Amino acid sequence: MTKTTAPYPTTLELLERLIAFPTVSADSNLDLIDFVERHLTEAGFRTHRLPDPSGRKAGLMARLGGDGPGGVMLSAHSDVVPVEGQNWTRPPFRLTRDGDRLYGRGTTDMKGYLATMLSLATRAAKTPPERPLMLAISYDEEVGCVGIRQMLPGYEALGWQPELCIVGEPTAMRPAIGHKGKIALQATCRGTAGHSSLAPRYVNALHLAAEFITALRRLQDHYAHSAARDPGYDVPYSTVHAGRMQGGTALNIVPDHARIEFELRHLPGDTQEDFLTRLRQETDRILRPFRTQDAAAQIAIERTNAYPGFQIAPDHEAARRVAVLSGAHETIKVAYGTEAGYFAQLGIPTLICGPGDMEGQGHKPDEYVTMAQLGSCDRMMDRLLMQLDASRSAR
C-alpha cells in the first residue's frame, strides 16, 4: 500500500474507539453519541442532540463554518447489526488489523465512514471553512431507517440548507446514484379453530396463508415481466419477498391464525400504492371461497415499515462533484436501502459514497474494511474541505 492511500492515524484511533461501542440496533447508542458530541464540541462544532421517543437513543447534528446557506452535509448511522449466531474468529467489538484489513463489527457498515467524518472534523477545527460543514449521525438505520425519520422534524427546525449531502454507506468509494424503495408488511390470516379430525368443517388459517403466498408469487411474476426495468440494479425489476410465516398451535388443532411477513422493494415507476391496490384485489379473490364456509375468514394487512427510494441523474452537478471528490467517475446503483431518500425528499442533492463493500463485507462475520478504502475516504474528505474554503483552494 502506498503512503498516499494510508488512512490518517487520527482516523484509525477514532475507528478503534467507535468499534468498541456495541451499538447494535436493539441497544442504546448514547455512550457513542456522548463520545462523538464531546469530540465535535472540542473541535468547535455546534451540536444538536435529537433524542428518540424512548430516551435510550439519540441522533446528532453538528455544524462548523459559515452561518449562511450552502455547504455540505455528511451523513452516517451509528447502529450496527447483531453478531449473535455468526462465527466470528476475531472479537467483533475490538478493532483488529491483519495486513490491509481492519476487522470489527461496523468497520464497513458504517463506522469506517463515521471515523473519517470525525477525523475531518479534527482537521477542519484548525481553520474553520468559509462555507458550512454539517454532520448528521443517526440511529436505528439497520431496522428500516427508523431513526432518521424520527429525527427529521428536529433537523428541519434547524433551517440548514446544504447544497450537497453525502451518505457514506459502503460503495467501494464509487458514487451511487440510486436505490429501490421498500415497504414492509404483515398479513394476519384468521380462520376457525377446531379438532383436526373434523378439519374440512373449518377454515384453516395456514391454507389462507398458502394462498396468500401464492398471490405474492403472482405479483412477483407481474413485476418480473413488466416494462419497468432498470439495468443499473443486480435485479432490474421490483421484487416481492415473503420472509417469515408463523401459524398453528398443535397438529391436532385446525389453526385459526397465521402470520406472514413480506416486503416490496420497488423501482420508482412501481409505486407502493399500486402494489397495495393489487394486493387488496388478490386478497379479496382469495377470501371469496373461504367465506362461503365461514364469513369470519379474514386476511388483515398491516404496513410495518417503509422508506423511500432514491435516485439522482448521473449528469447532475452533485453527481459530478462527488465523482471529483471521490476520484471515481463510474456511478453505480446499490441493492440495499439507505437514508439518502429522506434527504433527497427535503430537496437536498444527495449521493451515496463510502468505504467498504456491502456485498463482500457488510453484515457478515469477520466484517472488515481495507486500509486503502479508508485512506481513499480520508482523501475525499480533504478535497471536500478545500472546496468548502476558497482560501484553502487558493493556497
- Say how many C-beta atoms besides its own lie within 10 A of residue 327's C-beta: 12
Residue pointed to by grid coordinates 416490496: 264
- Say if CB 376 and CB 370 are below 8 A apart: no
State the virtual CA torsion across 353, 359, 362, 368 in degrees, nearest 10. Answer: -90
- Comparing CA positions, the residue from 155, 113, 150 lying closest to residue 134 is 155
Q: What is the C-alpha to C-alpha distance for residues 149 and 351, in angstroms, rounded to an integer?
A: 18
Residue 378 φ/ψ, nearest 5 degrees: -60, -40
Dist CA 317 CA 315 (whole Å): 6
Cis amide linkage into residue 110, ω under 30° from 0:
yes
Nearest to 303 by CA among 200, 181, 122: 181
How far is residue 321's CA from residue 177's CA, in Å, rounded to a whole number?
12
| Cβ neighbours of residue 359 closer than 8 Å, sequence gap 6 or more | 335
Active-site positions?
Answer: 79, 141
Q: Look up residue 349 and give its three cell numbers.
A: 442533492
Calpha distance 56→74 (Å, rounded) = 24
- Is the Cβ–Cβ distance between 289 and 297 less than 8 Å? no
Environment class of residue 382 by beta-carbon count within 10 Å: exposed (0-12), middle (13-18) or buried (19+)? middle
- Identify whether the C-beta of residue 129 lies closer than 8 Å to the C-beta of residue 66: yes
Distance from C-alpha of 117 to C-alpha of 111, rounded to nearest angstrom: 9
Contact 326, 79 (CB under 8 A): no
Give residue for cell 428541519.
156
One-letter amino acid at 165 equals C
Rounded Cα–Cα distance for residues 325 and 90 (Å): 34
Closest CA to 256 of 189, 195, 301: 189
